[in-house]
């Protein structure tokens, strides 16, 4: 009877075919990177990180970190609830808490991803189109980590957006304000240096002035880079002293930390901004865009940097791109932006500060508010930033935004999430050049110059070593062997630049 097991084809019992004359089965591998035509949100150019990969950071985030963040968010709402007296408001908020609790349950039970309820937000269609096309039948753990994590924050938004009284409530607002007011040392370190308007030394030669400008630029680029170390979604277990050590902005610490920038295009970045000043008609520099990451201390560092770029004539206009609603715990919203500028001028966040420190911070805040009034600083919040799409898809899914950025002389993306979205958050080799890793954001006609200032806090790492020489692989593999956790500690960073194809006409198929 061996070799003659019966099975059915269309109800007719047949013998199993032996197939002994056909070629043997080959063990073949998917070739990475995938061809452009076969890339989609569920199939990134290199293998996606997914929550079900045991022992991965994706797994730790989806299985542990996100439920913890949701739990803390519920605690925040309960605190608000306990301070209320109006019944209508109370009942409405209780419903928000119930929706958060069921989201937490869905997360821990690996529920299927369902469409977003139409709450009137500008991004509902973008979300639901992506879910229908690529994530039908997917759950929190088997969808790519980037999408699943973003989706969680959109669902958290929905818990409030469909309420009557609480549609703008930010469960992370208290935490975000706290990190700024607890960063007093670093805040005053910078404000006392920068509150007076920037002047170049008139006795110095122009070559010397340019050199001091270059050195300042490099140091402030590092301040802006390491200001990103305070990402609240990762600091849930950190002590105040640990946060302070991370935020250290002293010169010595900066020289030391440059060693930890594993892919470093800062020298070229300087040439780019220097030429913006040289090549502008009136010598006032170009347009620089910041795609922001975190509120509070990091945003403050970004603004110090942006202030310097304006005053030194390297930039004439700065666009800041924030989020429309609370996102990845600490990301900047319009409210956080206004809170920072106004509390610097009117707030009483630092009761122990000296009169001089308070005055310096106030002057700095007043100058920044003036830039906003004059239109030299512009704050924007395009809905695309709060979607699950990566920036490979920006040209197709948000053509207006791509066109807008194409007019910029330099777009600086801050932080880990923006870096994940630039690189499609997938397992690209360490030595992959930044240009290749960001795909259409480098290769499309009209793509702007793109710079990623990122302290490394998750799995994707590219741009190590010089392009194609293999050194980058060695650097990464050595760290893998010797320093487990190097990709999530925030101790290492990259400053990567893509030249893009600026000036070319943007066309849409």
* Rounded Cα distance, 371 and 353, in Å: 26
According to DSSP, the residues that pair with 380 across neighbouring strands are: 321
Which CB sits closer to Mg ion, 328 or 434? 328
Cβ burial 222-241 (10 Å sphere, 16+ → b, else e): bbbbbbbbbbbbbbeeeeee
Say how far apart CA 438 and CA 446 lie, in whole Å. Answer: 14
Shortest Å, Cβ 415 to Mg ion: 5
Indicate the residue among 331 and 409 with the shorter CB distance to Mg ion.
331
Residue 31: both structure tokens together: 């070739």
Contact between 294 and Mg ion (CB under 5 A)? yes
Report the DSSP pairing between strands 493-498 and 261-264. parallel
What's the min distance (Å) between Cβ of 29 and Mg ion?
35
- Structure tokens of 378? 């512009």
Give the binding range for Mg ion (CB under 5 A) out of 82-90, 206-214, 241-249, 289-297: 289-297
- Contact segment (CB under 5 A) with Mg ion among 2-10, 11-19, 146-154, 328-336 equals 328-336
Residue 130 vs 293, nearer CB to Mg ion: 293
Strand partners, 40: 43
Give the binding range for Mg ion (CB under 5 A) out of 178-186, 192-200, 276-284, 330-338: 330-338
Structure tokens at 33: 């990177």
Number of residues that bind Mg ion (CB under 5 A): 5
Q: How far is the CB of 418 from Mg ion (least distance, A)?
A: 8
Q: By C-alpha distance, which of 491, 500, 422 is closest to 463? A: 422
Q: Rounded to the nearest whole angstrom, what is the least distance from the CB of residue 454 to Mg ion in the complex?
A: 11
Choice between 195 and 493, CB closer to Mg ion:
493
Taking CB under 5 A as the binding criterion, the range among 142-150, 325-333, 388-396, 483-491 that sits at the site for Mg ion is 325-333
Is residue 290 a contact residue for Mg ion (CB under 5 A)? no
Contacts 24+ apart (CB under 8 A), 114-117: 116/154, 116/155, 116/158, 117/158, 117/162
- Contacts for 399 with CB less than 8 Å, ≥ 6 apart: 508
Q: Residue 331 interacts with Mg ion (CB under 5 A)?
A: yes
- How many H-runs (helices) and E-runs (strands) does the chain carry? 20, 9
User: Interface with Mg ion by CB under 5 A: which range of 161-169, 196-204, 290-298, 482-490?
Assistant: 290-298
Report, in this order, helix, strand and coil percent for the chain, each rounded to 5. 50, 10, 40
Minimal distance, residue 231 CB to Mg ion, in Å: 5
Q: What is the smallest separation between the CB atom of 417 and Mg ion, expressed in angstroms?
A: 5
CA nearest neighbour of 157 among 391, 338, 339, 385: 385
Q: Residue 220 CB: number of other CB atoms within 10 A?
A: 22
- At residue 40, φ and ψ (nearest 5 deg) are -150, 175
In terms of CB distance, is 326 or 476 closer to Mg ion? 326
Angstrom distance (rounded) from CA 151 to CA 51: 13
Least CB distance to Mg ion at residue 423 (A): 16
DSSP 187-206: HHHHHHHHSSPP---TTS-H
Among 140, 328, 391, 430, binds Mg ion (CB under 5 A): 328
**Closest CB to Mg ion among 235 and 288?**
235
Helix (H) or strand (E) holding 264: strand 261-264
Minimum CB–partner distance for residue 353 and Mg ion (Å): 27
Task: Give the H/E segment covering residue 291.
Answer: strand 286-291
> What character string, x for contact with Mg ion (CB under 5 A) and - otherwise, covers 245-284?
----------------------------------------
Nearest to Mg ion of 293, 307 (CB atom): 293
Least distance to Mg ion, CB of residue 233, Å: 6
Judged by beta carbon, residue 229 or residue 444, the one nearer Mg ion is 229
Minimal distance, residue 53 CB to Mg ion, in Å? 22
First vs last C-alpha separation in the chain: 61
Told to check if 183 binds Mg ion by CB under 5 A, we report no
Stretch near Mg ion under the rule CB under 5 A, chosen from 46-54, 94-102, 135-143, 331-339:
331-339
Piece of 91-99, 288-296, 357-365, 489-497 that binds Mg ion (CB under 5 A): 288-296
Q: What are phi and psi of 351, to 5 degrees?
A: -60, -25
Q: Which of 464, 439, 491, 387 is nearest to 147 (CA)?
A: 387
Please select the residue that binds Mg ion; options are 123, 293, 302, 393, rule is CB under 5 A: 293
Distance CA 104, CA 109 (A): 9
Helix runs in 33-86, H state only? 57-60, 66-81
Using rule CB under 5 A, residue 298 touches Mg ion: no
Options 37-45, 254-262, 305-313, 324-332: segment touching Mg ion (CB under 5 A): 324-332
Minimum distance, C-beta of residue 473 to Mg ion, in the bound complex (Å): 28
Smallest gap from Cβ 296 to Mg ion, in A, equals 11
Select 50 or 457, whichever has its Cβ closest to Mg ion: 457
- Interaction site with Mg ion (CB under 5 A): 293-294, 328, 330-331
């Amino acid at each position: 009877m061996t070799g003659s097991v019966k099975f059915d084809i269309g109800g007719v019992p047949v013998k199993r075919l032996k197939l002994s004359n056909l070629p043997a089965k080959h063990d073949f591998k998917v070739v990475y990177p995938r061809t452009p035509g076969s890339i989609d949100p569920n199939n990134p150019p290199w293998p996606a990180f997914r929550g079900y990969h045991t022992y991965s950071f994706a797994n730790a985030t989806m299985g542990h970190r996100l439920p913890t963040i949701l739990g803390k968010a519920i605690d925040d709402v309960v605190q608000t609830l306990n301070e209320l007296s109006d019944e209508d408001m109370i009942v409405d908020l209780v419903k928000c808490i119930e929706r958060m609790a069921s989201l937490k349950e869905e997360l821990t039970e690996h529920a299927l991803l369902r469409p977003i309820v139409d709450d009137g937000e500008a991004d509902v269609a973008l979300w639901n189109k992506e879910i229908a096309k690529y994530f039908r039948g997917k759950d929190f753990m088997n969808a790519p980590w980037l999408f699943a994590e973003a989706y969680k924050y959109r669902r958290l938004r929905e818990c409030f957006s469909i309420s009557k009284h609480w549609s703008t409530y930010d469960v992370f607002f208290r935490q975000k304000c706290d990190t700024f007011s607890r960063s007093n040392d670093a805040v005053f370190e910078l404000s006392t240096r920068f509150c007076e308007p920037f002047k170049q030394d008139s006795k110095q030669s122009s070559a010397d002035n340019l050199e001091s400008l270059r050195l300042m630029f490099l140091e402030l680029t590092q301040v802006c880079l390491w200001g990103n170390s305070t990402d609240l979604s990762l600091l849930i277990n950190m002590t105040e002293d640990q946060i302070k050590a991370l935020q250290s902005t002293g010169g010595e610490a900066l020289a030391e930390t440059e060693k930890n920038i594993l892919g470093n295009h800062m020298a070229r970045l300087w040439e780019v901004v220097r030429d913006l000043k040289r090549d502008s008609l009136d010598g006032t520099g170009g347009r620089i865009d910041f795609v922001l990451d975190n509120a509070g201390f990091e945003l403050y560092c970004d603004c110090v940097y942006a202030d310097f770029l304006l005053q030194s004539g390297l930039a004439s206009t700065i666009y800041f791109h924030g989020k429309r609603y609370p996102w990845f715990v600490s990301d900047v919203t319009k409210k956080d932006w206004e809170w920072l500028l106004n509390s610097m001028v009117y707030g009483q966040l630092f009761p122990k500060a000296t009169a001089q420190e308070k005055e310096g911070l106030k002057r700095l805040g007043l100058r920044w508010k003036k830039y906003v009034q004059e239109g030299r600083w512009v704050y924007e919040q395009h809905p695309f930033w709060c979607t699950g799409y990566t920036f490979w898809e920006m040209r197709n899914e948000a053509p207006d935004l791509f066109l807008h950025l194409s007019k910029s002389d330099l777009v600086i993306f801050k932080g880990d999430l923006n870096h994940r979205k630039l690189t499609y958050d997938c397992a690209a080799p360490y030595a992959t050049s930044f240009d290749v890793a960001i795909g259409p954001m480098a290769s499309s006609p009209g793509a702007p110059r793109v710079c990623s200032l990122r302290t490394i806090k998750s799995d994707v790492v590219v741009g190590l070593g010089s392009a194609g020489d293999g050194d980058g692989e060695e650097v990464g593999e050595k760290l893998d062997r010797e320093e487990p956790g190097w990709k999530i500690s925030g101790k290492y960073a990259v400053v990567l630049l893509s030249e893009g194809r600026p000036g070319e006409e943007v066309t849409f198929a």
